[in-house]
């Protein structure tokens, strides 16, 4: 992990942290994305306060898409951030009272803000830290998975990201990500410069995934970074399993204790900080004898 102090100084001076980190490494690696997003924590809530009309239009359009996919028992936002999209969106979906709601992010600070935002909006969402490429959930457990420019900084790893989302999904994946095809030349150059994802529809089809819709999305903030809607349908023959946290490394079950999750199969301990399960590989502590002392 790079020097947080130095990077914080860069952030506070108004420089682009992601660009600085990218110029000093090979693309947008996980550490770069984590540090950049964590430093920005709180800014998304401020944006939502100042742009209520936009958030309303954006979530109206997303809700129309998801409501058209039929009934479902669980839903998850990937890269939920501060829940500024998920909270208003959930109020607009045709949900039964028993629908399980999940949201994960790589940044603890952003999730801490999300906790507060959910409480203010009387919204119960299972928030947890996880890595897009190692989601701490079992196969085929979430009916609807959606993104809102959260795959964006992972250019070059599109197929890897899609495979992991497809593993966890049981019905549909709804992607709202950069629309490279329909961007202007300036927009295309910007997407390339920032290392954003491209051509998700093509990558999905290369894996044999069923893309049921792909088109420009009608609401976005930056004309240099327009949004595309891509909907992937999972094979309906898969058997759905219960949505419960698993070890992100081994995908084996976790047992909850007072302030940790423990995987007996892998011997790894994952902390829970302010009621946020930290289910990142980097958060794991080896403790093969943990249960001997915590029966």
pLDDT of residue 1: 47
Distance from C-alpha of 160 to C-alpha of 38, rounded to nearest angstrom? 23
Q: At 97, is the pLDDT very low, low, confident or very high (cuts 50, 70, 90)?
A: confident
pLDDT top residue among 39 and 34: 39
Residue ranges covered by each domain of the chain: 4-40, 53-233, 255-293
Of 142, 207, 149, the residue nearest 178 (C-alpha): 149
Task: Name every residue whose Cβ is closer than 8 Å to that of residue 120 and which is 6 or more positions away in sequence.
Answer: none
DSSP state of 278: B
Asked if 144 contacts 176 with a C-beta cutoff of 8 angstroms, the reply is no
The answer on pLDDT for 22 being more than 60 is no
pLDDT of residue 23: 53
Residue 26 forms beta bridges with which residues? none
Of 6, 28, 50, 5, the residue nearest 221 (C-alpha): 50
Read off the pLDDT of residues 216-268 as tens digits, 9 standing for 90 and up: 999 999 999 999 999 999 987 777 788 899 999 999 999 999 999 999 999 99
pTM: 0.88
Q: Domain spanning 53-233 has what CATH number?
A: 3.40.50.150
Read off the pLDDT of residues 99-139 as tens digits, 9 standing for 90 and up: 999 999 999 999 999 999 999 999 999 999 999 999 999 99
């Amino acid at each position: 992990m790079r020097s947080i102090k130095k990077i914080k100084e860069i952030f506070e001076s108004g420089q682009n942290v992601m660009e600085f980190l990218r110029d000093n490494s090979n693309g947008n690696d996980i550490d770069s994305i984590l540090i950049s997003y964590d430093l920005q924590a709180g800014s998304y809530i401020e944006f939502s306060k100042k742009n209520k009309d936009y958030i309303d239009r954006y979530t109206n359009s997303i809700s129309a898409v998801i409501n058209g996919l039929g009934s479902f028992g669980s839903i998850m936002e990937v890269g939920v951030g501060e829940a500024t999209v998920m909270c208003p969106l959930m109020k607009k979906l045709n949900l039964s009272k028993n629908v399980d709601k999940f949201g994960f992010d790589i940044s603890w600070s952003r999730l801490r803000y999300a906790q507060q935002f959910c409480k203010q909006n009387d919204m119960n969402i299972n928030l947890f830290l996880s890595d897009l490429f190692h989601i701490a959930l079992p196969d085929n457990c979430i009916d609807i998975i959606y993104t809102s420019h959260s795959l964006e900084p992972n250019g070059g790893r599109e197929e890897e990201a899609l495979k992991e989302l497809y593993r966890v999904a049981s019905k549909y994946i709804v992607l709202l990500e950069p629309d490279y095809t329909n961007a202007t030349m300036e927009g295309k150059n910007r997407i390339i410069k920032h290392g954003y994802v491209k051509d998700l529809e093509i990558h999905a089809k290369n894996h044999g995934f069923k893309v049921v819709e792909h088109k420009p999305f009608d609401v976005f903030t930056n004309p240099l970074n327009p949004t595309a809607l891509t909907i992937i349908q999972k094979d309906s023959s898969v058997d759905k399993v219960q949505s419960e946290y698993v070890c992100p490394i081994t995908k084996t079950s976790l047992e909850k204790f007072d302030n940790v999750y423990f995987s007996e199969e892998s011997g790894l301990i994952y902390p829970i900080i302010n009621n946020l399960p930290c289910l990142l590989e980097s958060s794991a502590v080896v403790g093969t004898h943990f249960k001997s002392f915590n029966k």
